[in-house]
Structure 1
Amino acid sequence: MTVMQMASGPAIPASALRFLNVAMLEKAGFVQLHEKQSWDQQVKLGGRYYYKRNQSSLVAFAIGQKYRPGNGVHIVGAHTDSPNLRVRPTSTRTKEGYLQCSIETYGGGLWATWFDRDLSLAGRVIVATSDAQNKFESRLVHVRRPLLRVPTLAIHLNRTANEAFKFNQEDNLQPILGLEDALNATADKLNAQANHGVGTPTMESKHHPVLLQLLAEELGCKVSHIQDFELSLYDTQPPAAGGIANEFLFAPRVDNQMSCFCATEGLIDSLEKNDALENASSIRAIALFDNEEVGSVSYQGAESNLVWSMIHRLAALAVQNTTSGPLNSQALFDQSLARSFLVSSDTAHAVHPNYASIHEQNLRPKINAGPVIKTNAKQRYASTAVTTFLLRRIAKLADVPLQEFEVRNDCACGSTIGPMLSKQVRTVDLGNPQLSMHSIREMCGSHDVERKIRLFAEFFRSFGQVDEELTVD
């Protein structure tokens, strides 16, 4: 899969995982596991596996042929979500003859960039599988045509707009779906078809009937089968290569679907040779979490047990299958964590030519000059001297240049999944440099993508050896 195919992919974590990451993994021989099931008879040395949670998070791992209880797990972690606008649970809104869709903001987006864009909807819908409404499933939907728009107020009516574009996120950020006449033309017909959802008010009382009809057409189901949904707005403009030498990628959701792509491709590339796992004694893994943009505190976020449960299960399986006498799975789990290492992969702030003074004078990452190690004395990033040194050793083996970033003392610092995951394992924070972070369309370097993939592949192949060369405790 190419970078452009990835950037052109689905607009929400669940769809991106299904149509990009899972497709890549299954093509490379990874087999799906399920958390609700026992892995006892499924997981083998030398095997490749993945599992999902909530349709929006994923862990994939490959087990070395020489893996033993308590050995390390080498992980690249990233997050699947990006700032966006989300349809409210009750979204019906009409004003001045317009149908509007009530939204709320998700994450810390540059919301001004969502004005005057051709927007559409993507997400998941809970539907009944039959008129009996006793079986249900979660299905993905992706409306491909422009559907909504948040128009700006004309300059003639807002003469100070070029001095400071100020707006109220509740009152001025609500998108237009259509004209009220369109609702009146179909409302009676759709309401006559309405069935009550399971334990909820009818969907027709919470959302415009024309919106529900659109979803039903996209899904190939009846309106009355729609029970609930989670929908996000997205920009329909496709990504593009840009710059005088096509050295840039202009695309949505660079933060952080790009890292998810690089992690997946790096893991697969590390397994390219048939004997890649023959002498490997560790587990190679990627962990792609949802909800980083809103704090990671969720069942599918980095604060959950998503990745740790995998390590614990494998330790327990090893204990169960051992012939060398009784072992304690908790002790092996703890030992495994001590031997493990995680690369927290997000994006980094490239120096901006129009705002260069925002960066610390000696720490100004450049696009297409290599991935960036991110540090912060207040632990907003998880990098330490030890973890940074180890990654530098890997980068040297991979022939990948690295850059550094810290914020100025008078600037606030963002964060990543790194600090919370570093509570359990040694962690370094890394990211490719980009501009327009959290805009509806972002900008990064096309050459940095290949370098990051190469770095991750070398990390999976060589970290065990590099780690043995350093003594700390």
Structure 2
Amino acid sequence: MTTSGTATPETCKECAPRKELRAYDADVVDYLNAAQSAFHCVAEVTARLTKAGFEVLDERKAWTVQPNGKYIVTRNGSSLCAFAVGGKFNNETSGAICVGAHTDSPCPKLKPVSRLEKSGNTMLGVVGYGGGLWHTWFDRDLTLVGRALVRRKGRVSQELVRLNRAVCRIPTLAIHLTSGDERSSFKPNLQQHLPPLLATGIQDALASDVAKRHDDVVVKLAAEALTCGEDEILELELQLADFQPAALIGARSEFVSSGRLDNQGSCYCGTTALIESLETLQGDASLRVLAMFDHEEVGSLSQQGAQSPFLGDVLRRAYKGLRGADFDAFVARSFQISSDMAHGLHPNYADRHDPKHAVKLQGGLVIKHNANQRYATDAVGCALIRRFAQKAACPLQDFAVKADSGCGTTIGPITAAGLGLKTVDVGPPQLSMHSCREIMGADDVYYAVKTFRAAFETYSDVAKAVDVDGVDPFWADPGKGWGVAVSAC
């Protein structure tokens, strides 16, 4: 439901024309085809940011940070924090504006020992990662993606693996062999029914250490993709991926169809917005941050997850490098937009949505609300994101689950609680969340990018007018950053 006072695509006279709305169509498809795992996501984002002038920093070494500087920090190759320092950054009055997302998606991952034979066939031992809709992975042409640790000339490094062809499939049981109950309610046993078929029986070969745990075919395919010897591969960390490329579909080509939209859709929008915002960096006073975490789908509790000190570590070191003395005050002046894909209205299951909070594809970025703090959104966060959307001339929608339904969560409450960081939870709407194949509206990519860009570019001014815990009343000076009143939540 669109809140009173906020523009919709139908009512907004300033909303972008149709041609401009589709400006990101080709680029988002290219991004999705590249970002097929958390490791590939971080590599693709790093490549895009370095092309835009960002410098890669090493957590193990001292940093030199200065105004107008642009920096990237990665952890485990699957999480990333990038930050750009405004040319007018003031360590006593400036804050950070952060867009947060996660890099992982539900998928079947290869077990540490994935060698598996069934009835003379070579299979892959896999385990479900996250809360996937596992039945959607059946009868699809699948490939393998991930990373390998490779030893070349005595040096061990991470290298990305992506096979350029479909190599396996999880076949369903023929209808003639299933019972009526199985046909009416397909509930595969993940241990018994999820292993994909890789090949028919093959001859055993002399195996390296890694090939004792993974089938020779897997090791050979990975070595070919990496152009290295099979004995040079020390470890493999692989997962299944849909081999079908991302694409624009629909009668008007208005839908983005892809795996991993949750949450590569948000990663793309945040990255693109940060790059576009660099045009105004020199005249800005804020620290602009893009934070992308691994392991959100399994609770975020890891060295590179949102429950780790990664974001706090980066912010603290950046602020210290800018000669800041009071980090706690800096965090109190900061704001995070946690972006994770939202549940769009499913036309065939409209009864699963609250009728007053049913958000639609192509309807704009979604503000997520939950009274039980599954989302970090509150009135202040709402007011800020509405102002950013207003400045970008982009529509917003409001989402809340039905009162009798459970609710998922995001990195938002985790980082908000861990750092004391004011946060709002948002996300572009999509259908088929956690399916092997998901869809979202192409217009919503535009709306998210432009709203995030407005946040990066205007936060330092907008934030001056917002004061809840200080001596000044809320919105004490509407002339600074607000201009006109916006609706409350």
- TM-score (normalizing by structure 1): 0.91
> 1:277 offset after TM fit, Å?
2.5
Mark the runs of 5 or more structure 2 residues left unpaired by the alignment.
1-25, 470-489
Residue equivalent to 1:229: 236
Residue equivalent to 2:109: 86
Alignment of 1:174 with 2:174, yes or no, is no
Q: Choose from 296, 299, 302 the match for 2:303.
A: 299
Contact 1:85 1:233 in 2 (8 A): yes
3-state DSSP class of the match of 1:165? coil
Residue equivalent to 1:407: 401
Alignment of 1:51 with 2:73, yes or no, is yes
Q: Choose from 437, 440, 446 the match for 1:450.
A: 446
Alignment of 1:204 with 2:224, yes or no, is no
> 1:417 offset after TM fit, Å?
0.3
Residue equivalent to 1:384: 378
3-state DSSP class of the match of 1:170? helix
- 2: distance between equivalents of 1:243 and 1:298? 39
Residue equivalent to 1:264: 271
Residue equivalent to 1:155: 175
Which amino acid in structure 1 is aligned with residue 398 of structure 2? E
> 1:212 offset after TM fit, Å?
1.3
3-state DSSP class of the match of 1:299? coil
- 2: distance between equivalents of 1:25 and 1:314? 18
Q: Residue 147 and residue 72 in structure 1: after superposition, are their counterparts in 2 closer, same or farther (change >3 A)?
A: same
Residue equivalent to 2:11: none
Alignment of 1:110 with 2:133, yes or no, is yes
1:50-84 CA distances to partner (integer Å, 9 max, x unpaired)?
A: 11111111111110122122421100000011000
1:241-299 CA distances to partner (integer Å, 9 max, x unpaired)?
A: 11111111111111111101100100111112xxx223311101100111100111111
- 2: distance between equivalents of 1:127 and 1:467? 47
Alignment of 1:314 with 2:307, yes or no, is no
- 2: distance between equivalents of 1:215 and 1:245? 39
3-state DSSP class of the match of 2:256? strand
Q: What count of residue pairs does the alignment treat as equivalent? A: 440
- 1: distance between equivalents of 2:27 and 2:220? 35
- 1: distance between equivalents of 2:188 and 2:265? 30
3-state DSSP class of the match of 1:241? strand
1:376-431 CA distances to partner (integer Å, 9 max, x unpaired)?
A: 01000000011111111111111111000111121110000000111120000001
4+ residue stretches of structure 1 with deviation over 3 A? none
- Give the CA RMSD over aligned residues: 1.3
- 1: distance between equivalents of 2:397 and 2:109? 35
- 1: distance between equivalents of 2:332 and 2:316? 13
> 1:205 offset after TM fit, Å?
2.2
For 1:327-366, what aligned pairs fall within 5 Å after superposition? Answer: 329=325, 332-366=326-360
Instruction: Out of 215-224 and 142-151, give the one that drifted further.
Output: 215-224
- 2: distance between equivalents of 1:81 and 1:400? 28
Alignment of 1:77 with 2:100, yes or no, is yes
Which amino acid in structure 1 is aligned with residue 157 of structure 2? E
Q: Choose from 58, 72, 85 the match for 1:34.
A: 58
Residue equivalent to 1:214: 221
Contact 2:97 2:334 in 1 (8 A): yes
- TM-score (normalizing by structure 2): 0.88
Q: Choose from 35, 40, 62 the match for 2:84.
A: 62
Q: Choose from 456, 461, 478 the match for 1:460.
A: 456
Residue equivalent to 1:137: 157
- 2: distance between equivalents of 1:435 and 1:296? 23
Contact 2:35 2:264 in 1 (8 A): no
For 1:265-280, what aligned pairs fall within 5 Å after superposition? Answer: 265-272=272-279, 276-280=280-284
- Tell me the percent identity: 43
- 2: distance between equivalents of 1:127 and 1:61? 30
Q: Choose from 290, 294, 297 the match for 2:294.
A: 290
Contact 1:10 1:142 in 2 (8 A): no
- 2: distance between equivalents of 1:205 and 1:393? 57
Contact 1:435 1:442 in 2 (8 A): yes
Alignment of 1:164 with 2:185, yes or no, is yes
